[in-house]
Amino acid sequence: MKRDDQTKPSKPLLTTIPTLSSTRKNPSDALPVSNQKKYDWIKLTRVPLLHAETESGEKVPLQVNKFKRLKISAVQFVNEKTTIHLTRKPKESCSYNVSEFQTYTLAVVNHSCEPIDVVLQLSPNNRDFYTEGPTYRIYPDAVELIVPQRFTKFVRLRLSACHPPASATIYLQAQMY
């Protein structure tokens, strides 16, 4: 004898995806009876639907998981790549505004034949920079991941070559909510 939670229903549990709309004629036609009171503003349409339309007419993208249920995720990923060519003088990377990131990491890849030194710098105003943490020595063809311990609005890296010329790539990878 099978338990109730192990039996498969003969029809899919969810065959529709909600879209936001206020243009339906009869609200009771749009939702099952159990959901009418809570979600009377939702109009259901047939699968597949790639977007929902708000009351103002704006299209909002939707995702559906393998069970054909609406997948809601507000996480966005940022990936920026910058290549720096070093000479005799130390060189700062461009500064990044990290104020909207929940978490972020700076990855530095050394493409030269000699080591390079990297220092993390933080700033509240993109003008006055504070050096945080140690100097990272990155050997040829190596990668160093740098994660700040303190939070400020702006961040940048200061790179210097032990024996110029040198080249490095900086990756800023972040999550936004």
- pLDDT single digits (tens) 47-96: 455 677 777 777 776 666 667 676 666 678 889 999 999 988 999 999 99
Q: Answer whether residue 43 shows pLDDT above 70.
A: no
Find out if CATH 3.10.20.810 is the number for domain 76-176. no
Supply the pTM of this predicted model.
0.59
Residue 72: predicted pLDDT? 62
Question: Once rounded to an integer, what is the mean pLDDT over residues 164-172?
Answer: 94
Nearest Cα neighbor of 99 from 40, 160, 156, 155 is: 155
Residue 19: predicted pLDDT? 45
81 near 169, Cβ under 8 Å?
yes
Please report, for the chain, how many H helices and E strands are present, in that order: 0, 15
**Banded model confidence at residue 21, pLDDT cuts 50, 70, 90:** very low
Residue 9: predicted pLDDT? 46
Could you tell me how far CA 85 lies from the centroid of its own chain? 28
150 near 132, Cβ under 8 Å?
yes
Picking from 50-54, 71-75, 135-139, 155-159, which range would have the lowest pLDDT averaged per residue?
Answer: 71-75
Q: Which of residues 136 and 34 earns the better pLDDT score? A: 136
Domain assignments of the chain as residue spans, ordered by start: 13-71, 76-176
Residue 76: predicted pLDDT? 82
Per DSSP, the residues of 4-45 read GGGSPPSS-S--EEEEE-S--S-GGGTS-GGGTTT-TTEEEE
Residue 39: predicted pLDDT? 43
- What percentage of the chain exceeds 70 in pLDDT? 63
Distance (Å, whole) CA 158 – CA 95? 10
Per DSSP, the residues of 57-97 read S-EEE-EE-TTS-EE----EEEEEEEEEEE-SS-EEPPPEE
Residue 50: predicted pLDDT? 63
